[in-house]
């Protein structure tokens, strides 16, 4: 540009002194904090430079009187230099991807926001890179500068959708972080509730410090790279342009800024200027402008050029400047006043210091600027920009750039949405949930107040819409050159959402099985509402559209189930859900929910997720427990990121949305209820569906019902199935009575009760005592004297139908043995045999190693996971979701009476019962021969593989503090216990189980204390907090035998049990050595 842009040692901050001057403030507390965090020296030096500017009184303000507008610049359209493709081998493309978009209400990488046609910023960026490489015929190097806030989300995205890019060396460079400063003292701020809030990104000016501190600058220079093209990830028009690269190289500029001519839409953004004192090209950002200069700052005829943040940098020249200043580039300061907790306006007042990478233009000798067409600048900073980009005013080119639709005549529509009503992305998406309006023929759109638009809405010319009411009004059809006041127009009627003020309620952190608390707590004011809103907000933030597909709701029928369903429906409508499936009478077993999500159609109605109202096997009733969990579109429990987001939302929630006037739905009879908005803009359909239909149909496709019926019809075979007054009753009737033609007398306790008839619907030897006695056993699984005949087969289900207990005639099958037997006999079941047999099996860590032996014998992939079905779900979805190895068909199980396969993404109690019956049927093909019993099959299995003697002791209702102290003591003593001799055993390893997921790489820690003996025996301790009150300590004992196969379990494990009680010292910590339940 011909201006003197050499850098002087003074900070050019203008002549205004800061009212915050604090010459006594020391940088040392910041240095100590940053060094402790492992921040690179280059970043510390850069921050120290900015900090010193702050304490010296500089504000970063550049007065209008000290600058002159930039004269004409070179336009890239006028460049005639022939493009030189050889330069590409020396060029690296870097996208800045550190922004969370908090100003638009986002709490994840802004680049993961959907832009157009289902593609996010990162989708289009990845496609641009691949297209660029194809067009240029060279593997042009690509890099991302992520922040500590965006790294995980971004890398997971690339690994999932673009694994080849994710695998490239040096894809990511991490932006540094700097301390937020107390607004008065300038010492590092503190935030006890969330220490991560003590840090902030240092602005994109950190690019230089990050390149230096990470070693990437030296590595790039060593690799022969000379040129770097940098742009923001939200500017999809900024692709590598070979003509501009050639111009940059041939002019021998050290630094080149791409500028655009300012329009009214850009008037609040920074601009390029010439500093009067030394004729340097400088960049003045909005934060550097004094209030009295605002008019001049926004005068687009005076300051004509703005920085697009598309920068071209000579890496060798950058290295020279870095060396000159001792390892960093000193950049002008940008000061932002915030609160330490961005979600709490009352938290500590802080200062965040930033720098802008474009400001480095004054640091490079021979820097220049060029004017580029608007096609190279399509960023999204506000919802105005996002609406424009999503609309038909922009189209996507063949090389995946968004450009202005030619039909716009070269001038983008000016969009001015109400800044208070449409500040957040969620507000815009709520307004456009029926589709994006047409803007291609629009010149200016001004909206004040809340409105809704859709695909049928077409704005033409100059349109202004005002709504003074608090109810959103629908705008449809063609609106041309009009000024409308829709305040008095008809609204939504029964579909009108109400925003209800609320506040966070402590203790709403969901576990692996959702949120479980006392029923009365759920029934207290706003408790359920807060959690449901937090889930829905997390689901939307995760990329799911609530207005597409169906929300499924059902539960195990416990007390408060019916009222909770009505609340969820009303809140779902208020949040944009258009279709619901509700289980008949509100009943849906947990596996049935998974089956319905996966199997029920048509495709356009497919469920995107489900609320399951259950506390599983916990007691029910007004004085007992209630629970709620969310399952996602694969049918499985919410993944960790969604649970974390939900919990974060519960800690900051300020309001929830509900349609209070939406009618109560009769959930006792299958059928559809349609409720339309008064203005005709939308309608909601609530369909009450038969609870058993989808699940039963799926099970019929898995098992040989003909063979099972033949078994059940044998004179010498009898069975009893105890649903324990839980949700499984209707399912057991649909299968055994309606499908298999058995008398209803084979069913026990099959009428669901909201308090499980006062019982504890947990299918184990202690709580299923009625069934256990009928099967000729006591609560320890020992045989008892019986006067009459004992059924050949017995089974029990828990409250929500996902657990199972299997019994033979006077014979208890442990869940671990049950899993191993089913795996060994999987080919008896059509689902597995017709797919070529099992490929993989998995068990939870506390489950016995019985199945390990079968997996090894059958050469199956085997996994030991933490407790929690989501870990099994990842393995099942390894191929279809994560593009990894296919492990299906697949069987998995837990010692806590949970067994299942990949037919759903939950454990499935009735599946396990049918699996056993199918195996029995396969072992009894000839009814004229003696019955092969459950006991026969298990003993044959032991004879083949050996026996894993195993039991679990549950200490329920323990004091949480004492239980945690006990676990911590064992955790701290693992090293000391390793190698120790206890009784006749030697502890080969004592540890705290850690699991690295082979599918998604996630890490689960502190999953249980293990004492692994040298002979293969195990003692394990886990702490469960899923009960409504207190903590449950679980102690697992296991010993493997190949010869002594007929011992009583208690006798076989007697010494190990004594050792276990000594190792944990539960008597001291919890006051008892007597378990509530022994399994």
Tallying the residues shown for the chain, one arrives at 1079
In DSSP terms, 452 is beta-bridged to 474
Res 22: pLDDT:
54
Is the distance from CB of 954 to CB of 1076 less than 8 angstroms? yes
Q: Does the pLDDT at position 58 exceed 90?
A: no
Q: What percent of the chain has pLDDT over 90?
A: 75
Average pLDDT over residues 418-440: 92
Res 522: pLDDT:
98
Three-state DSSP state, 519: helix
Q: How far apart, in whole angstroms, are the C-alpha atoms of residue 957 and residue 1029?
A: 7
Q: Does the pLDDT at position 375 exceed 90?
A: no
Average pLDDT over residues 460-464: 97
Structure tokens that stand for 894 in this block: 């837990």
Burial class (CB in 10 A: 0-12, 13-18, 19+), 1031: buried
Select from 234, 213, 216, 206 the least CA-distant residue to 147. 206
Q: How far apart, in whole angstroms, are the C-alpha atoms of residue 599 and residue 344?
A: 43
| β-strand pairing of 483-485 with 473-474 | unpaired
Report CA 221 to chain centroid distance, whole Å.
38
* pLDDT bucket at 8, cuts 50 / 70 / 90: very low
Is the distance from CB of 359 to CB of 331 less than 8 angstroms? yes
The residue ranking higher by pLDDT, 144 or 1028, is: 144
Is the distance from CB of 806 to CB of 818 less than 8 angstroms? yes
Residue given tokens 């990830």 in the structure block: 233
Can the peptide bond before residue 907 be classed as cis, meaning omega within 30 degrees of 0?
A: no
Q: List active site positions.
A: 616
- Residues near 606 by beta carbon (within 8 Å), at least 6 away in sequence: 549, 550, 597, 600, 633
| pTM across the whole model | 0.80
* pLDDT bucket at 1029, cuts 50 / 70 / 90: low
Res 15: pLDDT:
33
Average pLDDT over residues 693-710: 98
Is the distance from CB of 512 to CB of 612 less than 8 angstroms? no
For the chain, the helix, strand and coil percentages under 3-state DSSP, each to the nearest 5: 35, 25, 40
Res 10: pLDDT:
29
Taking phi over 0 as left and psi of -120 to 50 as alpha, with beta for the rest, 781 belongs to left
Select from 804, 815, 842 the least CA-distant residue to 723. 804
Q: For 714-741, how does the pLDDT look when each residue is reduced to its tens digit (9 = 90+)?
A: 999 999 999 999 999 999 999 999 999 9
In DSSP terms, 1034 is beta-bridged to 954, 1022
| β-strand pairing of 655-658 with 478-480 | unpaired
Beta strands, E only, 288-408: 305-314, 334-339, 349-354, 368-371, 394-396, 402-404
Buried b (16+ CB within 10 A) or exposed e, 513-547: bbbbbbbebbeeebbbbbbbbbbbbbbbbbebebb
The residue ranking higher by pLDDT, 13 or 587, is: 587
Is the distance from CB of 374 to CB of 406 less than 8 angstroms? no
Q: For 770-780, how does the pLDDT look when each residue is reduced to its tens digit (9 = 90+)?
A: 999 999 999 98
Average pLDDT over residues 408-426: 92
Q: For 977-1026, how does the pLDDT look when each residue is reduced to its tens digit (9 = 90+)?
A: 999 999 999 999 999 999 998 987 888 889 999 999 999 899 999 998 64
Select from 444, 496, 442 the least CA-distant residue to 469. 496
Q: How far apart, in whole angstroms, are the C-alpha atoms of residue 1009 and residue 1033?
A: 12
Mean per-residue pLDDT of the chain: 92
Q: How far apart, in whole angstroms, are the C-alpha atoms of residue 608 and residue 584?
A: 19
Average pLDDT over residues 78-85: 92
* pLDDT bucket at 24, cuts 50 / 70 / 90: low
Res 23: pLDDT:
57
Q: How far apart, in whole angstroms, are the C-alpha atoms of residue 576 and residue 563?
A: 20
Q: How far apart, in whole angstroms, are the C-alpha atoms of residue 728 and residue 739?
A: 15
Res 117: pLDDT:
87
Res 11: pLDDT:
34
Q: Does the pLDDT at position 18 exceed 80?
A: no
Candidate from 1-5, 220-224, 570-574 with smallest mean pLDDT: 1-5
């Amino acid at each position: 540009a011909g201006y003197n842009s050499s850098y002087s040692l003074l900070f050019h901050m203008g002549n205004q002194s800061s009212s915050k001057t604090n010459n006594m403030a020391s940088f040392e507390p910041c240095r100590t904090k940053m060094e402790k965090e492992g921040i690179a020296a280059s970043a510390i030096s850069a921050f120290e430079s900015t900090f010193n500017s702050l304490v010296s009184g500089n504000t970063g303000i550049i007065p209008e009187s000290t600058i002159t507008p930039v004269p004409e610049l070179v336009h890239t359209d006028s460049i005639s230099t022939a493009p030189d493709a050889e330069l590409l081998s020396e060029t690296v493309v870097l996208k800045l991807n550190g922004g969370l978009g908090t100003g638009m209400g986002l709490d994840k990488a802004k680049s993961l926001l959907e832009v157009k046609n289902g593609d996010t910023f990162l989708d289009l960026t990845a496609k641009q890179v691949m297209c660029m490489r194809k067009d240029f015929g060279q593997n042009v190097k690509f890099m991302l500068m992520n922040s500590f806030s965006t790294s995980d989300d971004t890398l997971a995205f690339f690994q999932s959708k673009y694994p080849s890019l994710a695998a490239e060396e040096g894809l990511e460079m991490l932006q540094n972080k700097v301390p937020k400063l107390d607004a008065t003292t300038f010492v590092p701020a503190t935030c006890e509730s969330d220490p991560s809030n003590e840090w902030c990104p240092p602005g994109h000016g950190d690019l230089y410090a990050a390149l230096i501190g990470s070693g990437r600058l030296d590595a790039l220079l060593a690799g022969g790279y000379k040129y770097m093209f940098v742009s923001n990830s939200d500017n999809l028009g900024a692709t590598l342009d070979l003509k501009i690269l050639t111009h940059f190289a041939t002019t021998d500029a050290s630094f080149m800024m791409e500028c655009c001519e300012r329009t009214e839409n850009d008037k609040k953004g920074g601009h390029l200027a010439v500093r009067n004192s030394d004729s340097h090209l400088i960049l003045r950002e909005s934060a550097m402008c004094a209030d009295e200069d605002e008019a001049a700052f926004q005068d687009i005829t005076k300051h004509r050029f703005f920085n697009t943040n598309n920068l071209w940098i000579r890496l060798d020249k950058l290295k020279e400047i870095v060396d000159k200043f001792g390892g960093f580039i000193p950049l002008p300061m940008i000061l932002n006043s915030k609160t330490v907790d961005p979600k709490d306006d009352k938290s500590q007042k802080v200062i965040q210091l930033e720098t802008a990478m474009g400001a480095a233009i004054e640091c490079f000798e021979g820097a220049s600027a060029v004017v580029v067409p608007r096609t190279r600048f399509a960023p999204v900073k506000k919802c105005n920009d996002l609406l424009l980009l999503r609309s038909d005013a922009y189209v996507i080119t063949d090389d995946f750039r968004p450009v202005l639709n030619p039909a716009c005549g070269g001038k983008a529509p000016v969009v001015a949405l109400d800044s208070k009503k449409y500040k957040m992305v969620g507000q815009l998406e709520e307004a456009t949930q029926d589709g994006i309006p047409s803007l291609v023929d629009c010149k200016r759109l001004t909206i004040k107040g809340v409105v809704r638009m859709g695909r049928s809405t077409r704005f033409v010319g100059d349109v202004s819409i005002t709504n003074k009411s608090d109810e959103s009004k629908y705008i449809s059809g063609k609106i041309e050159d009009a000024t409308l006041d829709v305040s008095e127009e008809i609204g939504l009627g029964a579909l009108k959402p109400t925003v209800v003020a609320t506040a966070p309620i402590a203790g709403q952190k969901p576990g692996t099985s959702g949120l479980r608390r006392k029923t009365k707590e759920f029934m207290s004011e706003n408790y359920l509402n807060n959690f449901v809103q937090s889930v829905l907000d997390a689901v939307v933030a995760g990329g799911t559209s609530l207005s597409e597909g169906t929300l499924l709701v059902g539960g195990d029928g416990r007390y408060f189930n019916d009222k909770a369903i009505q609340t969820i429906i009303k809140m779902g409508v208020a949040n944009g859900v258009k279709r619901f499936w509700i289980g008949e009478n509100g009943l849906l077993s947990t596996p049935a929910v998974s089956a319905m999500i996966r199997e029920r159609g048509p495709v356009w109605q497919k469920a995107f997720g489900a609320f399951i109202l259950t506390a599983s096997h916990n007691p029910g009733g007004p004085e007992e427990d209630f629970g709620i969990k969310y399952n996602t579109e694969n049918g499985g429990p919410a993944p960790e990121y969604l649970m974390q987001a939900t919990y974060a939302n519960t800690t900051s929630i300020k309001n929830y949305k509900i349609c209070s006037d939406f009618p109560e739905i009769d959930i006792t009879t299958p059928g559809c209820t349609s409720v339309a908005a008064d203005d005709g803009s939308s309608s909601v359909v609530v369909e009450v569906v038969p609870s058993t239909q989808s699940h039963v149909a799926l099970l019929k496709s898995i098992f040989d019902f003909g063979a099972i019926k033949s078994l059940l019809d044998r004179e010498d075979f009898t069975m009893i199935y105890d649903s324990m007054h839980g949700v499984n009753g209707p399912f057991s009737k649909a299968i055994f009575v309606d499908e298999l033609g058995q008398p209803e007398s084979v069913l026990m306790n099959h009428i669901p009760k909201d308090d499980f008839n006062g019982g504890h619907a947990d299918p184990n030897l202690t709580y299923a005592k009625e069934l256990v006695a009928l099967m000729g056993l006591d609560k320890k699984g020992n045989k008892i004297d019986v006067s009459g005949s004992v059924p050949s087969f017995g089974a029990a289900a828990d409250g929500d139908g996902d657990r199972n207990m299997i019994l033979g005639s006077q014979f208890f099958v442990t869940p671990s043995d049950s899993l191993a037997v089913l795996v060994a006999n999987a080919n008896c079941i059509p689902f597995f045999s017709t797919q070529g047999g099992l490929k993989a099996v998995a068990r939870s860590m506390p489950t016995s190693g019985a199945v390990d032996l079968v997996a090894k014998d059958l050469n199956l992939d085997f996994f030991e996971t933490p407790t929690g079905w989501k870990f099994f779900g990842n393995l099942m979805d390894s191929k279809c979701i994560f593009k990894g190895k296919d492990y299906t068909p697949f069987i998995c199980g837990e010692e806590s009476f949970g067994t299942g396969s990949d037919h759903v993404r939950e454990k499935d109690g009735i599946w396990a019962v049918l699996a056993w019956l199918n195996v029995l049927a396969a072992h009894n093909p000839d009814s004229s021969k003696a019955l092969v019993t459950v006991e026969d099959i298990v003993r044959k299995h032991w004879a083949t593989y050996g026996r894993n003697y195993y039991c679990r002791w549950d200490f329920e209702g323990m004091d949480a503090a004492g239980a945690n102290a006990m676990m911590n003591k064992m955790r701290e003593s693992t090293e000391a216990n390793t190698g120790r001799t206890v009784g006749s055993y030697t502890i080969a390893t004592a540890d705290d189980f850690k699991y690295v997921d082979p599918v998604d790489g996630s890490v689960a820690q502190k999953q249980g204390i293990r004492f692994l003996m040298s002979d293969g025996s195990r003692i394990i301790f886990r702490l469960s907090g899923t009960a409504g009150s207190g903590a449950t300590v679980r102690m697992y004992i296991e010993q493997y035998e190949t010869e002594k196969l007929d011992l009583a379990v208690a006798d076989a494990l007697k010494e190990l049990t004594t050792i276990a009680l000594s190792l944990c010292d539960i008597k001291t910590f919890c006051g008892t050595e007597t378990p509530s339940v022994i399994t």
